[in-house]
Amino acid sequence: MIERRRYADGLATLAEGRAVPARVAEWAAEHGLPTLGWAREYGRFRPGRSPWAVLAYAHPAGLAVRVDVYSARAERPTTRLRPSGGRAADRFVRFAGPRDGQSGSELLIEVSPAAADPALPGLGPVLAELTEGHIVRYRPGKRCTLRGQTTSGPRFVKVAPGGAAVMADAALLWGVRSALPFAVAEPHGWDEQTNSAWYGVVPGRPIAHDVLGCNGAAVAVRLAAALAALARAAIAPSRTEGPCEQLARSRRAAGRAAAAVPDLRKPLRAILADLERAHAGLRPRPLMPVHGAPHMHQWLDHGIKDGSRRLGLIDFDRLALGEPELDLATFLAELDAEPSRQVSMIDIEAAAVAGFEDNGVPLDPARLALYRAHKRLAKVARAACSLRPDGGDRALRHLGSVEAALARS
């Protein structure tokens, strides 16, 4: 784990938990914002790059900031974040880590508002356009979801490059909404100037608690039945997320993991070869509409309609033509490591499979095992690229779960 060892002091400083929160609170005070209540929502280790760590902190008031972490030996970057609201870009602050006096443990920490993210130049204008604009989810350099009021009513807005095709697919889905057993958000257009997609709001109560509760298997049946209805929908999304695309995604994940933890390179190479052989051994079949990321937090209890309880499903950014086993594997992957789950994974998986098959979408156990292996490989990559000092060890331990899923395929 040579790469992670090079950053061991810096990772230990971040894990200690004082440096970044202190700088975020200081930055907030400088800008007249609340100093308490900030929480980390995102963090990535980027070995060999500058900054070598990028984090996002959020506040319940709908605020978000980006935090860039540099080595004390590194020079200030030549490309500065855009000033926001006329303010100068924020200064660096030096922190010494647990091994004070050693340059390797000293960090340069820079805090900037999300609206100054150079990869999302439309974020500031969108925030200015919304009344009571509230940042819901921010991923530095990638995307930001907001909620706010307009003269036409409440809106969710997603600021991210390349969203025009996503909005076109959302319009397809809206066109068949009467045939779906769940509610979806009404699309309200794509703004090319700000790279923003505008949607209505799906009313409802999050059901993640229900999925994890004692009735989790029954809830899984309902969610799977809804995904089966989506798979049968008469739409043809513009994107494809079939076996080839999933293999490409896993190759990228393996590359990130090996860059952070070189000890992973050889076993990941073998796993990728096994995945490729397993996919090649399956007979091709027609692709169907898939959500692409139906995590439990994407589902809502939409209320009762026509005497039965109705679901809501949000975030169709990955709507594509794919294999239904991808949707089920994605749903199951999130539950695998949930310590509060009250129903066994065996029972939840069996219930979800029944939900698909009882609603006209048969599943292939070998394909399901393969997609579960892909999802577990993604977990290896997340551990390897995490800011935890033991991220490399955790990634190596997770390899066993990938191999176990492959053994079932």
Q: Does residue 163 sit in the same domain as residue 225?
A: no
> What is the extent of the structural domain holding 318?
205-408
Q: Does residue 61 sit in the same domain as residue 133?
A: no
pLDDT tens digits, 324-374:
999 999 999 999 989 999 999 999 999 999 999 999 999 999 999 999 999
Q: Does residue 212 sit in the same domain as residue 134?
A: no
Ramachandran angles phi, psi of 395, nearest 5°: -60, -45
Q: Does residue 307 sit in the same domain as residue 362?
A: yes
Specify the CATH number for the domain of residue 283: 3.90.1200.10
149, 176, 199 — which closes off a domain? Answer: 199
DSSP 8-class letter at 80: P
Round the CA-based radius of gyration of the chain to a whole number and report it: 22
Q: Percentage of residues in the chain with pLDDT exceeding 70?
A: 91
Q: Does residue 151 sit in the same domain as residue 252?
A: no
Q: Does residue 91 sit in the same domain as residue 193?
A: no
Domain count, the chain: 3
What is the dihedral sign for C-alpha 146, 150, 152, 154?
positive
pLDDT range class, residue 159, cuts 50, 70, 90: very high
Distance set, CA 183 to CA 191, 200, 203 (Å):
24, 11, 9
Amino acid at 75: E
83, 116, 149 — which closes off a domain? Answer: 116
199, 229, 248 — which closes off a domain? Answer: 199
Burial class (CB in 10 A: 0-12, 13-18, 19+), 52: buried
Q: Does residue 237 sit in the same domain as residue 255?
A: yes
Burial class (CB in 10 A: 0-12, 13-18, 19+), 46: middle
Token pair, residue 305, equals 């309609």
Q: Does residue 132 sit in the same domain as residue 281?
A: no
* Average pLDDT score, the chain: 91
Identify the pLDDT of residue 201: 96
Q: Does residue 111 sit in the same domain as residue 128?
A: no
Name, in order, each residue with C-beta under 8 angstroms of 104's C-beta and a sequence gap of 6 or more.
9, 10, 71
Distance CA 154, CA 143 (A): 20
Closest CA to 137 of 120, 162, 118, 153: 120
Identify the pLDDT of residue 409: 80
Distance CA 191, CA 164 (A): 8
Distance set, CA 27 to CA 24, 94, 167, 323, 354 (Å):
5, 14, 36, 47, 52
Name, in order, each residue with C-beta under 8 angstroms of 208's C-beta and a sequence gap of 6 or more.
296, 297, 299
Q: Does residue 359 sit in the same domain as residue 241?
A: yes
DSSP 8-class letter at 175: H
Per-residue buried b or exposed e for 213-236, using 16+ beta carbons within 10 Å of the residue's own CB:
eeebbebbbbbbbbbbbbbebeee
pLDDT tens digits, 238-286:
999 999 999 999 999 999 999 999 999 999 999 999 999 999 999 999 9
pLDDT range class, residue 103, cuts 50, 70, 90: very low
Q: Does residue 68 sit in the same domain as residue 210?
A: no
Q: Does residue 230 sit in the same domain as residue 349?
A: yes
The predicted model scores a pTM of 0.89
Hey, is 284 helix, strand or coil? coil
Hey, is 22 helix, strand or coil? helix
